[in-house]
Chains A and B, each alone.
Chain A
Amino acid sequence: MKTVLAISARDNVATALEALESGRRVEANGVSVTAVERIAAGHKIALHAIVAGQAVIKYGSPIGLASCDIAPGAHVHTHNVASSRGRGDLDAGVPAAAEPRLAEPPDTAATTQVASEADE
């Protein structure tokens, strides 16, 4: 049974199909990486180093830009990826949010349970 899934050969992230503990080794797109932190099921793991400003690729297309350097095996989500679409806040002179307003909710353990049990 697969533990992570990359959809396109061009993807630099893969989706965890089950919760990955830190230190878990996974393979996708011919790359083997070790999770450097806990990654909930349904969340993404970096297959390569992605430098700040570089596109994060899933489904073979960009899903946003890295808002800081992302190490291989790191959790890739709202804390290190920013959308570049529909950003009226940027036009209005609000500083570009390195930390988007809609980060993970504070009660991460309770809320990610939904995803981590998704495919037991």
Chain B
Amino acid sequence: MTTDRPGFYGYRRPDGRIGTRNHVLVVPTVICSSLVAERVAAAAFATALPHLAGCGQLGPDMRVTHETLAAYCGHPNVGAVVVIALGCEQVVAQVLAEAARAHGKPADIVAIQSEGGTVRATEKGTAIARAFATLVAAQAREWCDVSDLVLSLKCGGSDYTSGLASNPTLGRVTDRLVELGGSAVLGEIAEIMGAEHLLASRATRPETAAQLIQIITRVEGEARALGLDIRGTQPSPGNIRGGLTTIEEKSLGATHKGGERAPLVDVVPYAAPLRRKGLTVMDTPGLDVESVTGMVGGGAQVVVFTTGLGTPTGNPIAPVIKITGNARTARQMTDNLDLEVSGIMHETETLDAAADRLFAEVLAVASGKATAAERLGHREFAIHRRNPTI
């Protein structure tokens, strides 16, 4: 099929959503079943989702863990799900399996206690995961319109080049994608602090602007309630060495990722489904892996991660594209980086030309091109915890 609109080759799921990857996901319900899940995934060439939670949790903390795991089971980048349970934990294996089935994909459960221990559970899980791998391998990529794309916008290890080069480049891509009918999600509430006026002025509805201000006030209030100075972590020591002085400066640079024109259509909780086309802000912490984990849970199929100082992290189910404006980092951390845009600061490349390159890279990666993080096996995953373990 030919069209003059940009697009990519993706996996069209039974629920109509589009995947950029086709993982068989092996999901432990709880830390106690994480090792078995990892061994099953290794033996079946599948993808594990090891985590540290799943029990000893209360209230909103438990809910976020449950919803995040369920979101990964239902995610369009996942073709089939094997849930590895222990048997006595809080996270309910059936809920996770149902989250996958509700989106029309095969899912099964193996419980270590009822299966009779590690060895038997690993064997059974491996057999199921292998059978699922054969099933999902039969699914072919097909042409999808760019408006089916949901991009997660992330920065980490920021330095002065982030605000001057890589974030503005990503912002141009965000503006173009949203103009074409696609979506993007911006997290890290602490790193909007000081730049919220710019985003709020682009909100399509007054309540969305009010919600944005409300969650920023809450995060600021959390630091204040502890009697702490947010400067203990924002900007980070590495940010400060890189020339960033205050959280306001970091935020103004970071918020460039959301573009200059894309309307702010929604504000959603951590890992909650993205409901509207356009730019959404998600309530995530600033910690890179927790933030990316939440935005992918919301439905992002590709992550663009800008960095100044360089950072290696990926995600288990979504490709993470690393882009830097720092020429030295590009040389030092070649393994970890996909794109360099340092020419912008020295006027050897225009912002639009750099955005053209990034946009093309996003579509290529959406169609299956492996990112540096994928080639290196980076698949960091961490669920945001709201309360201490009980």
A82-B246, A87-B224 known; A101-B241 Cβ under 8 A: no
A31 located at the interface, meaning its Cβ lies under 8 Å from any Cβ of chain B in the complex: no
Q: A64 near B246 (CB under 8 angstroms)?
A: yes
Segment with Cβ contacts to A, from B25-33, B104-112, B189-197: B189-197
B61 located at the interface, meaning its Cβ lies under 8 Å from any Cβ of chain A in the complex: no
Q: B248 near A115 (CB under 8 angstroms)?
A: no
Q: How far is the CA of A114 from the CA of B169 in the complex (A)?
A: 23
Question: Which residue on chain B has the smallest CB distance to residue A64?
Answer: B246
Main secondary structure of the interface of A (DSSP, over half): loop
List A residues 70-120 near B (Cβ within 8 Å). Answer: 76-78, 81-92, 94, 97, 100-102, 104-105, 111-112, 114-115, 117-120
CB distance from A56 to the nearest CB of B (A): 8
B249 located at the interface, meaning its Cβ lies under 8 Å from any Cβ of chain A in the complex: yes
Chain A residues closer than 8 Å to B227, beta-carbon distance: 88-89, 91-92, 94
Q: How far is the CA of A43 from the CA of B235 in the complex (A)?
A: 14
Q: How far is the CA of A82 from the CA of B247 in the complex (A)?
A: 10
Q: A86 near B247 (CB under 8 angstroms)?
A: yes
Q: Interface size bucket, B side?
A: 35 or more
Q: Which residues of B contact A (CB under 8 A)?
A: 159-161, 163-164, 190, 193-195, 197-198, 219-220, 223-232, 234, 237, 240-243, 245-249, 252-253, 308-309, 326-329, 342, 345-347
Shortest Cβ-Cβ A-B pairs, 10 listed:
A86-B230, A42-B243, A92-B227, A42-B160, A88-B224, A83-B246, A63-B249, A89-B229, A64-B246, A59-B252
Given pairs A5-B164, A63-B249, A83-B247, 11 additional interface contacts (CB within 8 A): A42-B160, A59-B163, A83-B230, A83-B245, A83-B246, A86-B234, A88-B225, A100-B231, A102-B237, A120-B327, A120-B328
